[in-house]
Amino acid sequence: MRFLLIAAFLGIGATGFALGDSHSDLDVIYQKNPYSFLSMDYFARFSLDPNAAASTDEITIRTDWSILVDADTDPLVEVMAGDLATFMKQCMELDLAVHNSTKGAQAQTRTIFLSDQGGGNASSPGSFTIQVERDTVAVRGQNAAGLRDGVVQLVDRMGFRAAPILQVGEETMTPRLPLKIGTIPRMGSYRDLVFLGYNGVIISPTDQASTTPLKEVSKSSVLPELAPSYDPALVENLARKARDARRYGIKTFVSLSMWDFYPADAPIFLNHPGLRGAEAYKHMDRPPAGHLLCTEDPLMRRYLAESMKGLFEAIPLDGALIIVGGEEFQHCFMRPSGVEPKHTNCARCEKAGAETVVANLCNAMAEAAREVNPEAVLVAWPYSAKHFWSADDDQIAFIQKLKPGTALLTEIEKDDVLEKEGGIKKAIWDYSIDLIGPTDRAKRQIAACKAVGVACYLKSEPELAFEAPGLPYIPCMDRWYDRADALAASGADGAWVLAWFRSNQGTTSAEAYKYAFWNPVPDRDALLTKLAKRIAGSEEAALHLRRAWQHVSEAIPWSPELPPYFLGPYYLGPIHPMFADPDGEIPDCFQAKSEFAGHFLTEARGDAEVFGRCYRNMEHALMEAVKALDAASIHIPHRCRAVFEAEDLPTRWFYHTARTHANFYESCMLRNTLVPISKNDSKTPRETAEAQKQLERWRAVLEDERENTQAAISIVGKDSRLDVHTTRDGAALEQAAYLMHNKLALLDHELKVFLPSLAEKLVLEK
């Protein structure tokens, strides 16, 4: 008999998991993907419409124009002038020279004038003014950062117009959020990050956002046992990345980890007995992995302080992030073994209490960083702290112990419940786009931070939502825009739009946040209609693409749950087998081995009947989205074909995913009804008639899934972003096409062998 679940939820949290293929192998696959240009070059999403013509209230920039940089400006202005010139040549087919003006000069005829002064709102740092006249364009920032973002806005205006055409007039724009942290797009650059709308970044050892082990960047000699881990090449790598980011005026942060386990008789404890902290486990491993280094020990405090001071001296940083909930940066309340939650087996820390211990850690690290950079901030992320040490679900008691120089990072949607029809209570235990946010919990945390004078930031993934984590992004643009607007209106001090689980692939949702981050706030429908037109290339096609986004947005609330990580059809989509025969052998190719054990379900989760209806409703909504894309496709000009397909294929895969999910649930329910009946010695005529009806329905469901799988093979063949094999959490699986062909063989067996044999047992027509 198959196990009911072929995958286990291991409780892995905020930051990631093991790889099957190497990063380099996956990068090679990604680089060959026809849609990887979205992250590798932000400008590649734009195209020039040869038929575009200016209206009476617009101007056209032509070959006799140039870019003029104001005298005595910040070096960032020249950087942005160079990027603007690149955009004009690459996307608008205009080779505009860049000149430096003399002191006191103003905008000149047929120039795009760039200055880091004289624009924006004096009381709003980072603001800017764009002034378009008949023969001049001027972008003036309140400061250099304002000028930078003004150039981004100018590029987007021409990008929406698909031509070097600008509307005459003047507009001042002010940021709704002072800090907007993002992650560098996959295989992209800081330029791409800036044009995606961000002014801050987490620098990492790899191109993807990741944590940096503190002991590998610590020059402290306080603990000789840790000194051999120091990696000067890593420090220089991070310093170089930080310097490159500073060229764009980007604020730099590093995410630090320190989650080390040592046996009780380890030399570090024999030499420094006071360091031995809690005996703890890592994730769900048993027995305990070992002892942690106690952060309340004076020697450990000194090590942490010297490490932070040295790090900020070596690297130009604005801050550091540590996850202090249930993973990543150790303290004695992080997964201690043999005790109840909110307690520890370290006597010293148990006496002090969790909130005090964790706050002491954060405050001390912040104080050390501020010895080098008085404006530095230590950002504490209590991810899932309520499950381990927090006295309250909102971490209010912890927040009240934080001091200036610290800040809180919290999720905009996590740890809430959505109540739905049919008695469904959908637990938002991790990232979702069903719940826009901010939750009441997040609101309380923001208020608590304001009360004690520390900053509070809200986190959102740019592309990932666990309603469909197998997609490069879920094309529900109405919801993504609403999420961005909610971030900006939340009262938080900044948005951290971080791609932790997946690399930022520069898709439409990753781009869309920036449009809601500025005043005046654009009308959502008007903005998304412009965006759809830029992608689809014509008014008619844009109308249909816009409808497709709306249908996908309407499908999301039908999602009845967030299943455990990467488990079942919601993740694998049409790759997922039906497993009709409960006694059949699972083919070897489906028995994946990874940090998550496997990815397949053999039984429906939750209330199968209610959940099944939900997935069928998702399927119907997504079918409407596919119909809209079909209608759009005949109107797409060649210049927009690749950008449109990057939007089209994930939507189609999402449709096939929901169809598989609905078929899987219905198949499970039919199997669980018919197989037990087949074992009965006798059946009434009514039972026989009902069984015949159900068998016919089961055959129809499996036939539909066969058709669904065949159609989906061609889709995944066009876009490797949809192949579970190319994602780091699914790399232990074979390639999608191979798995799907094996699934088809399994379906053939179930349709041609298993169902007829079941019909014989039921004494029914085959």
The pLDDT confidence band at residue 597, using thresholds 50, 70 and 90, is: low
Strand ranges for 589-637 from DSSP E: none
Per CATH, the number for 179-520 is 3.20.20.80
**Closest by CA position to 45, among listed 245, 195, 201, 208:** 195
Kindly report the three-state secondary structure assignment for every residue of 547-596.
HHHHHHHHHHHHCCCCCCCCCCHHHHHHHCCCCCCCCCCCCHHHCCCCCC
CB atoms within 10 A of CB 241: 20
Distance of CA 370 to the CA centre of its chain: 30
The secondary structure element, H or E, covering residue 193 is: helix 190-195
- SS3 percent helix, strand, coil of the chain, rounded to 5, is 45, 15, 40
Average pLDDT over residues 105-126: 92
Cα–Cα distance measured from residue 134 to residue 167, given in angstroms and rounded to the nearest whole number: 10
Judged against a pLDDT cut of 90, whether residue 14 lies above it is answered with no
CB 467 within 8 A of CB 556: yes
The pLDDT confidence band at residue 732, using thresholds 50, 70 and 90, is: low
CB atoms within 10 A of CB 61: 21
- Domain ranges for the chain: 48-174, 179-520, 544-762
Cα–Cα distance measured from residue 464 to residue 499, given in angstroms and rounded to the nearest whole number: 8
Fold of 48-174: Chitobiase; domain 2 (3.30.379)
The secondary structure element, H or E, covering residue 168 is: none
3-class DSSP state for residue 652?
helix
Average pLDDT over residues 705-723: 97
Average pLDDT over residues 373-386: 97
**pTM beyond 0.75:** yes
- pLDDT at residue 296 in the model: 98
Check for a shared fold between 48-174 and 179-520.
Answer: no
Average pLDDT over residues 272-295: 90
Average pLDDT over residues 611-639: 98
The pLDDT confidence band at residue 565, using thresholds 50, 70 and 90, is: confident
| pLDDT tens for each residue of 140-197 | 999 999 999 999 999 999 999 999 999 999 999 999 999 999 999 999 999 999 999 9
In the structure encoding, which two tokens stand for residue 652, read together?
């189609």
Of 3-12, 583-592, 672-681, 752-761, the poorest mean pLDDT is in 3-12
- pLDDT at residue 683 in the model: 77
- pLDDT at residue 41 in the model: 98
Average pLDDT over residues 395-401: 98
**Closest by CA position to 702, among listed 765, 751, 632:** 751
Cα atoms in the 13 Å half-sphere on the side-chain side of 52: 24
CB 712 within 8 A of CB 654: no
Judged against a pLDDT cut of 60, whether residue 596 lies above it is answered with no
In the structure encoding, which two tokens stand for residue 286, read together?
């048993």
In the structure encoding, which two tokens stand for residue 606, read together?
């939750």
- pLDDT at residue 9 in the model: 30
The pLDDT confidence band at residue 388, using thresholds 50, 70 and 90, is: very high
